[in-house]
Amino acid sequence: MSGATLLDAIHEDGHALVVAAESNWARPVPDCPAWDAGGLVRHTGTVLEWMSAIVVTGEPASFRSLPPPPADDADLPAWFLGNLDRTVSTLGAADPQQTVWTFSSLGDHRVSWWRRRLAVETAIHRWDAQHAVAVEGGPPPTPLDADVAAAGIEEFVTEFLPGLLDSWTDSPSGKVHLLLTDAAPKRWLDLDELGSDEPVDAQADATVRGTASDVLLWLTNRRADSVDVRGDRGLLDAWTRLKR
């Protein structure tokens, strides 16, 4: 997915997040129980400002060094959208190969890493805000862009899953096949040998089939009703506990 397309997705999802949240700042966000809609916007807006500071300096930045978000909910849209525009502009102006600090577990210290990270973060939190509206009887959330979701699956499998498994003394064991109906490539999660490239005809212990959006939302414990999950129930239940 091109850098320009990622930046467009960040901009679009950021605006949609604010639209969903500002309809009721006090609305609970089921998938982020620590925050209401206002808290979700404050968090995401601060992340935007944090990432922009990192790309500008190339060095790690502390959240504590940033100005606090507005206390008044009425000031949140202008604050958030200002941060959104500045961050998208900063990421767009920087050379994607420029070396900057990242928290990549693979040692990827390029601006392009932040473009993907922010696109995935913004898309998921936009979904969170829209899903909170849907829970109260509003329209269903718009699915994540298929290419952004596929990039998020790649990120999750390569960057975050190894750390999750290392943090557990009793991690799930087996092979999970992620079958994406609208994006490529399909992915294998070999929980015993991460990074292995399984052939497409290998035997899976469990299979998760759905759009890239629904599979990424399943991977991040946001929904299970829109994916077709089959196979070893014990493995799948252990996998769900691992992601919490």
Q: How confident is the model at residue 184 (pLDDT cuts 50, 70, 90)?
A: confident
pLDDT (average), residues 81-106: 97
Q: Are 69 and 42 in contact (CB under 8 A)?
A: yes
> 143-174 pLDDT, tens per residue?
999 999 999 999 998 898 888 777 776 767 88
Q: Under DSSP, is residue 176 helix (H, G, I), strand (E, B) or coil?
A: strand
Please, what is the average pLDDT of the chain?
Answer: 90
Q: Between residues 182 and 15, which one has the greater pLDDT?
A: 15
Tokens matching residue 228: 């077709």
Residues in the chain: 244
pLDDT at 56 over 80: yes
Per DSSP, what are the bridge partners of residue 231?
206
Q: Which helix (H) or strand (E) holds 180?
A: strand 175-180
pLDDT at 202 over 70: no
| pLDDT recorded at residue 3 | 59
Terminal Cα distance for the chain, rounded: 29
pLDDT (average), residues 79-99: 97
Alpha-carbon gap, residue 172 to 59, rounded angstroms: 36
Crossing angle of helices 3-21 and 76-93, rounded to 10°: 180
pLDDT at 2 over 90: no
pLDDT (average), residues 2-21: 92
User: In this predicted structure, which of 71-85, 92-106, 154-168, 203-217 has the lowest mean pLDDT?
Assistant: 154-168
> 114-143 pLDDT, tens per residue?
999 999 999 999 999 999 999 999 999 999
| pLDDT recorded at residue 70 | 97
Query: Largest alpha-carbon pair distance within the chain?
Result: 56
What domains are defined for the chain? Answer: 3-142 (1.20.120.450), 147-243 (3.30.1050.10)
Side chain identity at 124, as an amino acid letter? Answer: I
Q: Angle at the Cα of 244 (from 68 to 106), degrees rounded to 5?
A: 75
Alpha-carbon gap, residue 189 to 170, rounded angstroms: 17
